[in-house]
C-alpha cells in the first residue's frame, strides 16, 4: 500500500500545483474568454484572470468579483453569458461608446451585484425588468445611452438602491408609482428623456431619503404633487422643461434643506407662493410660466443664501426694488421679459456683490445715475434705451453693456510656440513636453451659482480633484469653454496629464480614473455648490498608447508561462517514471506471492471454467513437507479428499 499512497500524494501535489496556475472558477474563465473574443479593445494576457492580474478584473477567492473596464475603447455587445458571473459585485463598462445592443436580461442572475454602471455607452432597447431582482444593487447608472421603453415597475423592488440614474436616454411612458418603494434612494436622475403623463404622488413620501430629484426636460404634464414637500432631505429639485400645470404647491416652502429649485419653462399658473421658508435656497428659477401678475415679492429679503434669482417672463410689474440687492450672497438677477417699469435707481450704499442685473425687455423709462460700475446692468429693449437716449452714447452703459466676464482658466506655464506635438497630443505645461492627456467634460446639472470667474471656487475644485483622484500636483487643468448650456447645466472641460516623464497613461490608470468618475466615488465639496454631475470623456481617441493592444504577451508573461509549463512537464515526467517503477515492483511482489504461478484468467476475462494452468510449479521434498506440517499433524488438517487428508 505504500506505493499507492505515494502515488496518491504525488497526484494531490500535482493538483495543488495546477490550482496555482488556474485560480479562477472555470465558468468565470469561460465567460471572460468569450468577452475577449467578442469585444474589440480587450488586451487581457496571461493564463488565468485572477492569477494574471487582468486589467479591470479583481477576484474574491476563485470568483470574479469586479469587472471595471471604464474608458477602454471597447466595441461589441453584452452577451447573455454575462449571467454566469454569479460572483460579480461591481460591473462598470462606462464610457465605452462602442458597446451597443440590448442589455441582456440575464444580468438579473447576478444576485451579488452591488453596482451596475453603463454610463456613456450606446446600449439600446428597453431596460430589463429582471434587473428588479438584484436585491444587493445600490448603484444603477444607465445615463447617456440610447435606451427606450418605460422604466420597469419591477425596479421598485430594489430595496437597497441609492443611486438611480437613467438620464439622457429615450425613455417614454409614465413614471411607475412603485418608485415610492425605494426608501433608501437618494437620487432620482430621470432628466432628458421623453417620459410623459403626470408625476405620481406616491413616489414622494416622508419615509424617503431623496436628495436630488431631476425630472427636467421630459414631457410630463399635470400638477406638481404636493407630496414633494415631504422630502425632508431634498436639496435639488429640477422640474423645468416640461408641461406641468396648475399652481406651485404652497407647502413647498417646507423644504428646509432645498438649495436649488428649477421649475421654469412649464405652464404653471396662479400666484407665486411665499418661499420665505426656503432658508437654504441658493438658486431659484421660476421663469417662463403664466403666474398671476404681481409685484416683485417682498419675501426675497429672507433668502440670505441666494446667489441667483431667475424670473424671466413671469408677469412681474412695478418698480425694481433696489433693496433686494442687499442680499449678501447675490451674484445675478435675471428679470427679462416682464413689465417692470418706472425709473431704475440703485442706492450706492447697498451691497454691490451682484455681477449681473438683467432687465431686458421691460418698461423702464430711465435711470438715476450714477449706477454702480462693478455691476453689469442690461436694459436693452426698454424705453430707457430707445432712439435718442443719452445712454446709447455711453460705452459701457446699460444700453451698451460690457462683454461678459471671462470665465476662469487654470494658470499655466508659458512653454512658447516652438513645441510641436503629434496627433491628439498636447504640451504638458508642467514640463513643456508632449503628452496625451485624459480629456473630458464635467457636466454639473444643478450648480448653485452663476459667477464663472470666481477663482477661489474653481481652484478649490482643482485641489479636490487632485486629492481624490490621487494625481500628481499640477495634473488638473480646467481649460476653455467653461459655460452654461441651454439647459442651464454647467460644462467644465478638464485635461488630466499622465505622470511627468511619460507620454501616455497605462490602461489600469485610465480604468481607475474612469471608474472613480462614473461610480460617483468622487464628489465635489458641497460648500462649492457644484451639485450633481456626470463626466463625459472625449471620444475622438484613446487616452493610452494605441500600440499597447498589439504587443501581444509581455516578456514577463511569456517567461512566466514558459516556466510554469516547464515545471508542469518535469513534474508529469517524474510522476510517470515513478509510476512505472512502482508498477514493476508491484508485479514482482504479486509473482512471489503466488508460488505456483497459477493463472485463472479473471483479469483478462479469458476464464473458461477449466482448472488453472500451473506455470513453473515448484518441487518440494518429503522432508520439507514433513517439517512444514509438523509431521503431518492432525492439528494442521484442513480437509479430506478422495485421496486422503489434506494438510
Q: Is the same domain home to 400 and 430?
A: no
- Average model confidence (pLDDT) across the chain: 84
Report yes or no on 203 lying in a domain: no
Provide the pLDDT confidence category of residue 639 given band limits of 50, 70 and 90.
low
Domain boundary among 481, 516, 550: 550
**In this prediction, what percent of the chain has a pLDDT beyond 70?**
80
Burial of 330: CB neighbours in 10 Å, binned 0-12, 13-18, 19+: buried
Q: Is the same domain home to 398 and 430?
A: no
Provide the pLDDT confidence category of residue 552 given band limits of 50, 70 and 90.
very low
Q: Summarize the confidence of residues 99-104 as an average pLDDT.
A: 97
Provide the pLDDT confidence category of residue 588 given band limits of 50, 70 and 90.
low
Quote the domain boundaries for residue 510.
Answer: 426-550
Report yes or no on 38 lying in a domain: no
The torsion of the CA quartet 343, 344, 346, 351, rounded to 10 degrees, works out to 140
The Cα–Cα gap between 213 and 442 comes to 19
The Cα–Cα gap between 407 and 405 comes to 6
Q: Which own/partner pairs from 471-478 qualify as long-range (CB within 8 Å, at least 24 positions apart)?
A: 471/496, 472/430, 472/497, 472/499, 472/500, 474/429, 474/430, 475/430, 476/410, 477/410, 477/412, 477/429, 477/437, 478/408, 478/409, 478/410
Provide the pLDDT confidence category of residue 17 given band limits of 50, 70 and 90.
very low
User: Lowest-pLDDT range, 230-244, 333-347, 411-425?
Assistant: 411-425
Give pLDDT tens digits for 149-171. 999 999 999 999 999 999 999 99
Give pLDDT tens digits for 339-351. 999 999 887 655 6
Report yes or no on 646 lying in a domain: yes
Report yes or no on 432 lying in a domain: yes
Given a cut of 70, whether residue 18 has pLDDT beyond it is no
Q: Is the same domain home to 456 and 487?
A: yes
Report yes or no on 421 lying in a domain: no
- Our count of domains for the chain comes to 3
Given a cut of 60, whether residue 584 has pLDDT beyond it is yes
Report yes or no on 132 lying in a domain: no
Give this prediction's pTM.
0.81
| Peptide bond just before 364 cis, omega within 30 deg | no
Given a cut of 90, whether residue 58 has pLDDT beyond it is yes
Give pLDDT tens digits for 130-146. 999 999 999 999 999 99
Helices (H), 426-495: 455-468
Domain boundary among 550, 565, 587: 550
Given a cut of 90, whether residue 1 has pLDDT beyond it is no
Q: Is the same domain home to 383 and 481?
A: no
Cβ atoms 229, 258 nearer than 8 A: no
Q: Is the same domain home to 450 and 537?
A: yes
Provide the pLDDT confidence category of residue 376 given band limits of 50, 70 and 90.
confident
CATH code, 494: 3.30.70
Q: Is the same domain home to 431 and 546?
A: yes
Provide the pLDDT confidence category of residue 323 given band limits of 50, 70 and 90.
confident
Amino acid at each position: 500500500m505504500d506505493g499507492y499512497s505515494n502515488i496518491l500524494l504525488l497526484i494531490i501535489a500535482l493538483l495543488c500545483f495546477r490550482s496555482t496556475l488556474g485560480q479562477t472558477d472555470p465558468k468565470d474563465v469561460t465567460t471572460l474568454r468569450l468577452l475577449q473574443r467578442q469585444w474589440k479593445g480587450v488586451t487581457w494576457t496571461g493564463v488565468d484572470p485572477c492569477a494574471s492580474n487582468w486589467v479591470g478584473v479583481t477576484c474574491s477567492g476563485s470568483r470574479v468579483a469586479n469587472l471595471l473596464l471604464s474608458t477602454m475603447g471597447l466595441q461589441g455587445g453584452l452577451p447573455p453569458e454575462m449571467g454566469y458571473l454569479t460572483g460579480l459585485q461591481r460591473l462598470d463598462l462606462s464610457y465605452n461608446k462602442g458597446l451597443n445592443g440590448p442589455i441582456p436580461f440575464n444580468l438579473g442572475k447576478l444576485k451579488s451585484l452591488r453596482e451596475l454602471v453603463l454610463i456613456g455607452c450606446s446600449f439600446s432597447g428597453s431596460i430589463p425588468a429582471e434587473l428588479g431582482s438584484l436585491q444587493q444593487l445600490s448603484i444603477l447608472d444607465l445615463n447617456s445611452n440610447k435606451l427606450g421603453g418605460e422604466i420597469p415597475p419591477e425596479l421598485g423592488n430594489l430595496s437597497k438602491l441609492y443611486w438611480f440614474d437613467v438620464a439622457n436616454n429615450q425613455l417614454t411612458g409614465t413614471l411607475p408609482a412603485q418608485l415610492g418603494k425605494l426608501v433608501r434612494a437618494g437620487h432620482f436622475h430621470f432628466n432628458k428623456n421623453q417620459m410623459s403623463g403626470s408625476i405620481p404622488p406616491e413616489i414622494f413620501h416622508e419615509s424617503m431619503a431623496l436628495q436630488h430629484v431631476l425630472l427636467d426636460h421630459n414631457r410630463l404634464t399635470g400638477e406638481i404633487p404636493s407630496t414633494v414637500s415631504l422630502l425632508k432631505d431634498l436639496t435639488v429639485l429640477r422640474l423645468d422643461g416640461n408641461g406641468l400645470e396648475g399652481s406651485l404647491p404652497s407647502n413647498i416652502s417646507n423644504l428646509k434643506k432645498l438649495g436649488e429649485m428649477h421649475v421654469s419653462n412649464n405652464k404653471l399658473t396662479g400666484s407665486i407662493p411665499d418661499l420665505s421658508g426656503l432658508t437654504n435656497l441658493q438658486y431659484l428659477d421660476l421663469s417662463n410660466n403664466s403666474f398671476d401678475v404681481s409685484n416683485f415679492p417682498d419675501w426675497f429679503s429672507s433668502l440670505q443664501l441666494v446667489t441667483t434669482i431667475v424670473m424671466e417672463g413671469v408677469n412681474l410689474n412695478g418698480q425694481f426694488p433696489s433693496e433686494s440687492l442687499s442680499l449678501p450672497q447675490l451674484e445675478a438677477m435675471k428679470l427679462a421679459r416682464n413689465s417692470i417699469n418706472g425709473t431704475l435707481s440703485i442706492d450706492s450704499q447697498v451691497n454691490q456683490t451682484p455681477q449681473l442685473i438683467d432687465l431686458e425687455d421691460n418698461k423702464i423709462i430711465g435711470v438715476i445715475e450714477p449706477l454702480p460700475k462693478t455691476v453689469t446692468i442690461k436694459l436693452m429693449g426698454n424705453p430707457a434705451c430707445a432712439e435718442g437716449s443719452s445712454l446709447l452714447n455711453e460705452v459701457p452703459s446699460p444700453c451698451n453693456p460690457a462683454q461678459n466676464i471671462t470665465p476662469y482658466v487654470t494658470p499655466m506655464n508659458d512653454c512658447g510656440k516652438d513645441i510641436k506635438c503629434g496627433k491628439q497630443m498636447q504640451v504638458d505645461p508642467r514640463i513643456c513636453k508632449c503628452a496625451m492627456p485624459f480629456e473630458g467634460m464635467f457636466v454639473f446639472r444643478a450648480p448653485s451659482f452663476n459667477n464663472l470667474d470666481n477663482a477661489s471656487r474653481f481652484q478649490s475644485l482643482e485641489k479636490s480633484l487632485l486629492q481624490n483622484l490621487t494625481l500628481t500636483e499640477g495634473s488638473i487643468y480646467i481649460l476653455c469653454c467653461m459655460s452654461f448650456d441651454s439647459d442651464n447645466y454647467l460644462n467644465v472641460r478638464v485635461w488630466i496629464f499622465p505622470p511627468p516623464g511619460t507620454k501616455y497613461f497605462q490602461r489600469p490608470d485610465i480604468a481607475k480614473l474612469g471608474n472613480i468618475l462614473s461610480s460617483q466615488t468622487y464628489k465635489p465639496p458641497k460648500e462649492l455648490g457644484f451639485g450633481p454631475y456626470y463626466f463625459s470623456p472625449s471620444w475622438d481617441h484613446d487616452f493610452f498608447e494605441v500600440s499597447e493592444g498589439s504587443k501581444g504577451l509581455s516578456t514577463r508573461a511569456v517567461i512566466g508561462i514558459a516556466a510554469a509549463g516547464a515545471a508542469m512537464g518535469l513534474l508529469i515526467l517524474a510522476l510517470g517514471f515513478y509510476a512505472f517503477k512502482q508498477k514493476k515492483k508491484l508485479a514482482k511482489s504479486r509473482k512471489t506471492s503466488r508460488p505456483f504461478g497459477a493463472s485463472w484468467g479473471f483479469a483478462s476475462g479469458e476464464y473458461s471454467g477449466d482448472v488453472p494452468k500451473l506455470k513453473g510449479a515448484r518441487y518440494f521434498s518429503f522432508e520439507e513437507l514433513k517439517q512444514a506440517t509438523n509431521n503431518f499433524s492432525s492439528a494442521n488438517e484442513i480437509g479430506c479428499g478422495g485421496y486422503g487428508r489434506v494438510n
